[in-house]
Structure 1
Amino acid sequence: MAEAILYNLTADIIFKLGSSALQELGSLWRVNSELHKLKHSLSAIQAVLLDAEEQQSKNNQVKDWVLKLQDVLYEIDDLIDESSYETLRRQVLAKHRRTRKQVRILFSKFKSNWKIGHKIKEIRERLQAINEDKNQFGFCKHVIERRDDYEGLRKRRETHSFILEDEVIGRNDDKEAVIDLLLNSNTKEDIAIVSIVGMGGLGKTALAQSIYTHYGMTNDGQFQMKLWVCVSEEFDLKIIIQKIIESATGKKTESFLQLDSLQCELRKQIDGKKYLLVMDDVWNEKKEEWLHLKRLLMGGAKGSRILITTRSEQVAKTFDSTFVHRLQILDASNSWLLFQKMTGLEERFDNQEVKLDQKNLNLIKIGMEIVSMLNGVPLVIRNIGGLLKDNKSERFWLSFKDKELHQVLRQEQDALKEMQLILELSYKYLPSSNLKQCFRYCALFPKDL
């Protein structure tokens, strides 16, 4: 969500302008003055970004305004980085050169600040024009708070192996099919690879979790060892080996260990054992990177299996998949069951004391119409169901269906874009501005951080 990143970039730049990153620039009055004006313009724009984000999907002029702002913000961010680098460079030079060369360094400092001052003035004038343009749109202002100590929040997101069985709806046939491929398939390979392939939002991870926790995976001597690893976009051999070892031992591996030590430990852990390794959310399409890892996994006993979840058919080919299970959308019946569960309709209508009056019947009818528009994608159904759960008003549900949802679906677009726009609706209806701000804040960080 580019607009969310834009919102946080604005806040981040304002924070930097008041931090030590630009203190060196304040040594010249001109630079300090331009910085003050720049920060003032940024603060004025930041106050209306919440409203601009909501309006831009309906107004091309607002969208163009947002894009212009984005360009200027990235230039400011680059300028801050350039200034920080120059400050550090001069400090290093001053420390290691003799006193007689300090005059040259001093002149270099004034020359650098003079150039940066001109750049700031040019950017500030562009930003001022953007700031003035915003008045024509009548944006509403919002109070914005910001945490300065965000560095401590940079932690890797991980999928895990556990899931409650009743959370997985409509995937029994898929589960049985994949388990059959893992346990009963006849293959010449000692270690076969099964891939679950499907677009984002279909529930590949949930299906893999359900399979991983199934009692049949460890009973009757099927697998001596089960391992779970979230791979995601960065296929780093060392990190993946560390994760496999940690899954096998339940202990944190030392980060300073060299790759050779890690590969020895990995082979020691799986040597002669029949294992099931789940590699969740795989994106790597480079054959050589997979082969490096595959060589280390060949020490397991015959019958070992590797289960991969991925969005890409090419990934399944890259990983030499013995079998590929293509995950499809939910059928109408299971889509409705999932929607009922997410909205709480399931509990309401299972309660014998609740009379199905006309209001309740109308909710069922509207709910079924909404479900039919969500195309059987579990992630979309979960998000929209969660949105509607706390407001079981016939008027609200009807308005959401006929206005918001209909507006998204009437546009000509591919399935992935359509799903993205529907998911954005659940963001729009977050119950408080603080939650929206938190969501934008998290959007600053790359996936898996």
Structure 2
Amino acid sequence: MVPPNRGEMGDAMISRRSFISSGAGVAAQAAAGVLAGLHSGAAVGSTADGTGEFIQTTLYNFKGDYHNPPGPSWIISPVCLASDGNFYGTSYYGGRWGKGTVYRKKPDGHCKVLHDFDATGAQWPMSWPGLIEEGHGRLWGVHFFGGEFGAGIIFRINHPGEFELVHTFTGGRGGANPLGSLILTSDGCFYGTTWQGGLYDHGTVFRLKPGGGFKVIHSFRGGESHPSHPAGALLEGRDGFLYGTTYHGGDHSDGSDYGKGTIFKMDLTGKMAMVHKWTGPARNPTGGLIQTRDGQIFGTTFVGGETASGTLFRLTEQGRVEWLHEFNRFVDGELPVGMLEASDGTVYITLSQGWGRLEDGTIVRMTLDGKTEVVHVFDHLTGGADPVAPLIEDDQGRLIGTTRFSGRMRGHGTMYALTRA
């Protein structure tokens, strides 16, 4: 098994954007802000949403390689609102070596690259893995590639920008290519997944203690009866178990080599049970799971539905999957990439493409009884395009996200805020 590439999940993400298909593969985009302020103010432009409910304000236009020194480009990870009030994130491209960056954006609009990745230390901060803040002002993250063995790393960086390599994945039994963001659980440890490696080369779940100590606690087997290739961050449920999704594994009835994907449940020692495997046209869960305040667990699949645009589902307490909605690229968007439960008690789902005059992506709102509606349509002519990371909510109640393309400065992406009109 090789890491996912443009022939795997990458092509699914960019399948309807031929103008970028000749670029470097968006490896692991399923599974999956910048240098010096453009203006002194926090916002550099705003536009009314076509639905009339939200106003999109561009907080920053990324500059990429067309700035000296080079800035970030292709923002495909969610931002982290840290305890110092600043936004932190990573970029896929850009920076001094063109291999991506860690950046900080202040509320006044000033942005700065804190770290430039290179081909030897950590190459290309991949897809959804965002940063997570742990005490003492330290931000932790993972990289799909890079490190001594090219199998990925775990790193941490503090608010001033002091970077530290915490763990290098070795491949084989030690796991390779971390894909989902780290989570910090009730036992005070970080947990995460690797796309491949482990005893059977179908991926792993690992535990990392903040003070040191890395351990693979589970190796996925793959096949008809086992999960394979975890995609998306883990979820610690209210019951104390870890829940996650795998892009492959389970049903092979369509003749596929790897299966349609699964949901699994695991205790903190690594004992795992497969909760659900996809058997119908819906397949390949990618954006992880969320648990809302009322205890419900929701998730999405990357593919499925009449137009193969993805689906929305609920996992019941009995372990059954209830289908809530089929996305349609012509009606409400396609390719869901993540969810956020906001303070208004509803869930906001980011769809990276579809709908609108240019099919630049949408935000769909879901009530907790499963009803959905489009609340924002992206348009690269007036803002950003291809939002491929979930939203966060700031302390003002704004929804903050990033786009991979468009904006000014030759289309290196944007950081935006959605506020009610």
TM-score (ref. length: structure 1): 0.22
Higher relative contact order, chain-length normalized (CA < 8 Å, sep 6+) = 1
- The structure in which a higher percent of residues are helix is 1
Q: Larger radius of gyration, structure 1 or 2?
A: 1
Greater share of residues in strand:
2
